[in-house]
Structures are given as C-alpha cells and as structure tokens.
Amino acid sequence: MSSYPAVRLRRTRASAWSRRLHAETVLTPADLIWPLFIAEGQEVEEPVAALPGVSRWSVDGIVARGREARDLGIPCVALFPNTPSHLRTDDGAEALNPDNLMCRAIRALKDAVPEVGVLTDVALDPYTTHGHDGLVDAAGYVVNDATADALVGQALNQARAGSDVIAPSDMMDGRIGAIREALEGEGFANTQIMSYAAKYASAFYGPFRDAVGSRGLLKGDKKTYQMDSANAEEALREVALDLAEGADSVMVKPGLPYLDIVARVKQRFEVPVFAYQVSGEYAMIEHAVAAGAAERDAIVLETLMAFKRAGCAGVLTYHAPVAARLLGA
C-alpha cells in the first residue's frame, strides 16, 4: 500500500490561476435578466418595503434602468406593472389597453435603448381586483379557456408595443400554442416566447405581490393552476407541452429550491432553460445579509453560479445589477 494518495484533487485547487483554468461553469453579466417594477407618474421612485434595495420606477426611471442594464452588460430586462387600483377590474381589461403602463414602458425602452431585450409578463394578476392570473367564475375558479383568450389579447398588445419576449406566467393549459398562432398571424414571427413552464404554487412570491400591489387583493391561493411542489414528472410534461406548442425557451420558478427540476428539464430536453430567483429568495438573502449571517457579494455570486451549474442559460434575479457589477462588466 502506497503511503500517498494516487490522485490528489487538491492539486488543481492550489492556486487561483489553476482554479480559474479548471472552472467548469462560467457566470457573466450576459446570464442575467433584470426584473423591474413600473410605477405610474413621473420621476417616481417607490422603494418596495418587502424587497430591500428594490424600487418601482416610473417610465423615465425604467428607461434609466435600461441604460444601466446596457452599461452593465445585462442583455435583457423583465417588466412588471403596478397598475393603479382604479384601473383594476374583475376581468383585468386594462391588460388589453395599448396605452397601459406596461406598453408605455416597452415603447420608451425600445425607443431609448433598443439594444436591450424587453421581456414582458403575460398574466392578469397586476390588472384584476381579485389578484388572480385569470378570469374567475362565480365559484371562484380560474377558468382556463376564456383566460387563454384574454392572454392572447394581452400578448398581442405587448408585441405591438415592441416586446421582444412574451413570457406567460399564468399556467393556463394551451396558452402557448394560442399565443404563438396569434403572433404568427400578426406577423410577429421573431417575437420570442419564454414560457413559465414549470411554475409552482409557492410561498416565495409574497414580496412580489407587494411590489405589484396584488397581495392584499388575492382571494385564496393559486393552487388550481400553479404546480404542486411535490411534483417533478408533471413539470416535465408541462415543459414538453410548451415546447410542442412553440415556446422558444422555458422557465422554472422559483429557483434555488427547484434546481432539481432545472437539471432534469435540461437533461431531458436540451433546450434553453431559465430560472427565476424569485422575490422571496431575494428577500431571504437580503435579510440574512442584514442579520450578519452571510456576506452579500459572495452569497449572490454563489447562488447565481448554482443556477448555471444546474443547466440554466440565464437567471431572472433582482440581484442582476449587483451581480453584474461584481462580475466586472
């Protein structure tokens, strides 16, 4: 028996240059999508109490964030409106208004910084009085097919305003195919669809609902349309359907607690997979940092690297500007 190990895995870890050389995964600003909340008004910045360090911005501020994204090397921003409460209705009709907050922000961004991609959320929750992603019947059930029709209208409205990536987050059956067909029908052949394919009914969305003003409104929960955290096979079925219906890329959401799903989707389908490190995950990190339990720079980069290692093409994260600065854009 030899007196030394035949293989020393520590040898390649012994110096910084060697660790860099042997890194299996890279993280760059090009892996980041920056979610932004839009507020009504001018020169408005409203800090979101539940998301320390995140604000809602009026359209002029959204444009400034778009320029910041460009300068930091972040390729894409994701938009979410905080619709004024007097414009919220049972049927969320404001989602179809070509001059709604979302459309004004899309147009302003594409006008000022056309080189930054604009991803837009398709779901009715920022526009409804009940806070659900779709149309609700007398029993409180979110009806599928009528909702899908409304989402087609919402997606077309965003595409006409200039959205680059339509991102349905509602989890209705059949909506990807319906939206793809409608986009093609209007000549939007190059408008992408990133489907929130495996989106779970999650306790991690609380701060987001504060940011878009739907938390106090939400009646019940979203378990009849968003997935059960117990299920993984079902996520693969969701992804298979959305791809067959024409999705260009798929998303898993939330992020860190669902990296097993990311890895399985990537291995099975070999398509671009994104993950959303959601509001509750961001808040957990920020609260841990504030409590002295973790160091922000290191924990932000480590969690984002984990997404890449699991197989993500990119990550939607509220830490996008922080991470891009650390990565030395």
Q: Provide the binding-site residues for ligand PBG, judged by CB under 6 A.
A: 121, 123, 125, 133, 169, 205, 208-209, 222, 278-279
Helix/strand/coil for 101: helix
Whichever of 186 and 234 has its CB closer to ligand PBG, that residue is 234
Whichever of 106 and 278 has its CB closer to ligand PBG, that residue is 278
How far does CA 221 lie from the centroid of its chain? 20
Whether residue 124 contacts residue 132, with contact meaning beta carbons closer than 8 Å, is answered with yes
Whichever of 211 and 310 has its CB closer to ligand PBG, that residue is 211
Give the pairing type, strands 165-168 and 76-81: unpaired
Whichever of 133 and 238 has its CB closer to ligand PBG, that residue is 133
Q: Residue 115: phi, psi to the nearest 5?
A: -75, -10
- How many Å apart are CA 265 and CA 159, to the nearest integer? 28
Closest contact distance (angstroms) between CB of 121 and ligand PBG is 5
Give the pairing type, strands 45-47 and 76-81: unpaired
Helix/strand/coil for 25: coil
- How many Å apart are CA 297 and CA 62, to the nearest integer? 25
Whether residue 286 contacts residue 256, with contact meaning beta carbons closer than 8 Å, is answered with no
Q: Which helix (H) or strand (E) holds 253?
A: strand 249-253
- How many Å apart are CA 68 and CA 73, to the nearest integer? 9
- Tokens 């509602």 belong to residue: 170
Whichever of 112 and 288 has its CB closer to ligand PBG, that residue is 288
Catalytic residues: 199, 253
- How many Å apart are CA 328 and CA 28, to the nearest integer? 9
- How many Å apart are CA 313 and CA 90, to the nearest integer? 37
Q: CB atoms < 10 A from the CB of 71, how many? A: 12
Closest contact distance (angstroms) between CB of 279 and ligand PBG is 3
